[in-house]
Structure 1
Amino acid sequence: MELEKKIATIFQQFQTEHTFKGFKTFNSGHINDTFLILTQEKVSYVLQRINTTVFKKATDVIHNKIKITQHLSKKGIQTIHFIPTKESNYSLIDDDNHLWNLSEFIENSQTYLKVESNDIAYQAGLITAEFLVQTSDYENDLVETLPNFHSIPFRFQEFQEALVSASKTRKQQAQKWIDFALANKKEMMVLEHAINQKEIPLRVTHNDTKISNILFDTNNKAICMIDLDTVMKGCIHFDYGDALRTICNTANEDEPNVYNINFNLDYFKNYTEGFLKNLADNISKQEASYLPISIQVMTFIMALRFLTDYLNNDVYYKTKHPEHNLDRASNQFTLVEKIKEQKPFIENFIKTIYNKP
């Protein structure tokens, strides 16, 4: 009841004409806390509490979300609509220094934790690319809210620091994957090198394109991208690779049995077809050539982050048991191996679909 009273109090400080009735908790996020607000008038909202430990620039997170959604709305693109407070701000800081924002809930919408069909994978590709295309003309005043978010050198620096301070027990438990990370370091630097050499341009990107961050209607048509907390400058490869990391894993992200993990080529093909259908005219042949490696790199980054957090005694991600982050790391590193096995097929398929001089 204490949490319900707090959420009701927060909700009442935003500009709505509706009466709080109750709430439900969304459980899919690793970082923030998100609630579905139910009202007496049967109009629903999404209330989010931003993790200010992770997002040191939480007000800038709100700034970026508002700017991008307003940009999309002006173009007639369906997107999230954020609600200002009664003091005309788009965020609210409570007595515990937590930052909240409120948006309208899009009725008759749904999300997926896992892809359930080729059609969903295709729709996910379409909408991710649509977001990239429709924000490509945005005059970029976005704040870098998570510096070096997808930077391999930065993630390796964090990893090396964690290795120094990690307990002997945790290092022993994770030794196989520590060795794997170090052995693959050079190959995983390819995308970073291309960015530094300006072979890949930077643009507005979502930066967290897992399948649960796409909203679908009841007919499984993609509506829009959601969870825009990480919107900032990046490259299309971040969004492409991260989406396929989640869409094509045949197991849940924290599945401990690595024998259940594989890379679903049917979902890869359908997502890529949708993605390049909307984006092919907006990227160069050189950019397209780095799409295959991006799937490995983005999966590797996620694995390295889980491993680092495990070595740091689980200070970043929410965990359900002591080995949770190690299971996640093992899962993602195994997926990297599975993607490598399919590398020739992946490269040939992308060349076929892109098919531009």
Structure 2
Amino acid sequence: MDAGIPSSILARWGDLAERPHRPHGSGLINRTFLVEGRRGPVILQRLHPVFAGVVNEDIEAVTAHLARKGLITPRPVRTDDGALWVDGDDGRPWRALTFVEGQSFDHVPSPAVAREAGRLVARFHVAVADLEHEYRHVRVGVHDTKRHFATLEKALAEGRSHRLFGEVAPLAERLFRAAERLGDLGGLPQRHVHGDLKISNLLFRGEGAVCLVDLDTLGRMIWPFEMGDAFRSWCNPRGEDEGAAAIDVAIFEAAIEGYGEVARGAGIVTGEEARALVAGIGTICLELSSRFLADALNESYFGFDATRFATRGDHNLVRGRGQLALHASVEAHRGALEGAARAALGG
């Protein structure tokens, strides 16, 4: 059972002091609560150790910019003495955000929802295109593809006695062969991005997309990686926890068409970036597969599903196999995907 929010933390926001609260959402990173504040509901979160308090300065800057552009967005709620976050007794930061009403999905239920998701992300990208901000919290190496592959190589070298080695090794061999065909996307421009556009980080009302949430990953990244991560999430109806993943071309077509309806003509995506989109999806699939396969041998996964899998390694093996299958599916449908991207974005 969740211990709840310490009263000393709630007291820093006078409107929230001694107010009822309950766990909110299904995220595995931050501990999230909905607090019934005296002036309405507020989200209060205890951040995961990977995030320092200064990430809230980035969120404040970006969401203020989004609000000025007319976009709906959660905003930081400062404490009574003006702080953006409060350090708990264990040194972990707590922060408050305005509550935005909406529904999230674990999987894209229809092409109509995919189209709205694409439109929302494009509105976000258009809005932040002129943002001037140097990020305080920087996720170093988050898409350092070679580093992820090297981590898998190390896990293989050190994990030969692991009970799952016989299953992981042939998958890793397939992965490394596929990686030899990856192009170099390093010369593309670094743009302001959300950084983690899995479908559960978008809020909807009906089929209309309202806003992006989980903003701790804001930063700069190349556009094909930002959208590659989005599409590998949105267009895989089976999700990460199934080994037989495949891309849904109809979902992709709807999503990129929605994105293009907003972005085309706005000057936020070059022809070179658009042509690299499918390569970006494939690269993200292989990155994730390498991470999951390494974690299978290292038995390291913070949120594995003990109701379905015996160990963290077993869960990660399925995830690693699934992302490798998704990469193969992307390659099998490359022509259709690239054609849809050209039609939606030009280039």
For residue 177 of structure 1, the aligned residue among 171, 176, 187 is 171
Shift of residue 167, structure 1, vs aligned partner: 5.4
Shift >3 Å, 4+ stretches: 6-9
Flag the 1:139–1:26 CA change in 2: closer, same or farther, 3 A: same
Q: What code does the residue aligned with 1:211 have? A: I
Q: What is the match of residue 324 of structure 1?
A: 315
Aligned to 1:216: 204
**More displaced stretch, 60-69 vs 224-233:** 60-69
In the alignment, structure 1 residue 11 sits paired with structure 2 residue 10 = yes
1:287-302 matches, within 5 Å, as: 287-302=273-288
- Residue identity in the other structure for 1:317: F
Number of the residue aligned with 1:229: 216
Counterparts of 1:32-47 in structure 2 under 5 Å? 32-39=30-37, 41=38, 43-47=40-44
- Give, as a single letter, the amino acid of the residue that structure 2 aligns with 1:120: V
Q: Secondary structure at the match of 1:38?
A: strand
- 8 Å contact kept, 1:93–1:99: yes
Q: Is the 1:15–1:84 contact (alpha carbons within 8 Å) kept by the matching residues of 2? A: no
Matched, 1:105 2:71: no
Given that 1:60 and 1:145 are in contact with CA atoms closer than 8 Å, whether structure 2 keeps it comes out as no
Residues 166-315 of structure 1: matches in 2 within 5 Å? Answer: 166=159, 168-169=161-162, 170-188=164-182, 190=183, 193-195=184-186, 198=187, 200-217=188-205, 219-256=206-243, 258=244, 261-281=245-265, 282=267, 283-314=269-300
1:152 aligns with 2:145: yes
Q: Is the 8 A contact 1:93 1:100 kept in 2?
A: yes
C-alpha displacement of 1:36? 2.4
CA drift at 1:247: 1.0
Superposed CA offset, 1:76-96 (max 9, x none): 221111111233211111112
One-letter code aligned to 1:3: A
Superposition deviation, residue 194 in structure 1: 2.7
Letter paired with 2:119: L
Matched, 1:341 2:335: no
User: Does the aligned pair in 2 maintain the 1:45–1:105 contact within 8 Å?
Assistant: yes
What are structure 2's unaligned runs of at least 5 residues? none
Shift of residue 7 of structure 1? 4.6
Task: State TM-score, norm by structure 1.
Answer: 0.88
Shift in Å, 1:290: 0.5
Paired letter, 1:72? L
Distance 1:202 1:320, change over 3 A: same
CA 1:130–1:11: 2 relative to 1, 3 Å: same
Q: Residue 249 of structure 2 aligns to which amino acid in structure 1?
A: L
Which amino acid in structure 2 is aligned with residue 268 of structure 1? F
Contact 1:143 1:232 in 2 (8 A): no
Q: Distance in 2 between matches of 1:296 and 1:132?
A: 22
Note if contact 2:155-2:297 (Cα within 8 Å) is conserved in structure 1: yes
Distance 1:2 1:317 in 2: 17
Q: Distance in 1 between matches of 2:132 and 2:270?
A: 21
- The residue that corresponds to 1:61 in the other structure is 55
**Deviation per residue, 1:183-215 (Å, 9 max, x gap):** 122223x2xx232xx3x2111111100000011
Give the Cα separation in 1 of the matches to 2:47 and 2:156: 29
Find the partner of 2:89 among 95, 107, 114.
Answer: 95
Task: Pick closer, same or farther for the CA change 1:76–1:354 going to 2, 3 Å.
Answer: closer
Answer whether contact 2:16 2:36 (CA < 8 A) is retained.
no
Structure 1 unmatched runs, 5+: none
Q: CA deviation at 1:2?
A: 6.9
How far apart in 2 are the matches of 1:18 and 1:100? Answer: 14
- SS of structure 1 residue aligned to 2:304: coil
What is the DSSP-based 3-state SS (H/G/I as helix, E as strand, rest coil) of the residue aligned with 2:338? helix
Q: 1:338 to 1:46 in 2, by over 3 A?
A: same
Q: Which of 149, 163, 175 is the aligned partner of 2:156?
A: 163
Q: What is the CA deviation profile of residues 122-147 of structure 1, one whole-angstrom value per residue up to 9, with x for unaligned ones?
A: 01101111111111111131135210
Q: Aligned partner of 1:75: which letter?
A: K
Give the superposed CA RMSD: 2.1
TM-superposed CA distance for 1:278, in Å, is 1.7
Count of residue correspondences = 338
Equivalent position of 1:48 in the other structure = 45
Is 1:24 aligned to 2:10, yes or no?
no
Compared with structure 1, are the counterparts of its residues 144 and 152 closer, same or farther at alpha carbon in structure 2 (3 Å cutoff)?
farther
User: Percent same amino acid among aligned pairs?
Assistant: 26
Give, as a single letter, the amino acid of the residue that structure 1 aligns with 2:199.
I
| Aligned-partner Cα distance in 1 for 2:30–2:235 | 24
Superposed CA deviations along residues 278-317 of structure 1, whole A, max 9, x for unmatched, are 2222222111110121111122222222222222221x53
Q: Distance in 2 between matches of 1:153 and 1:133?
A: 30
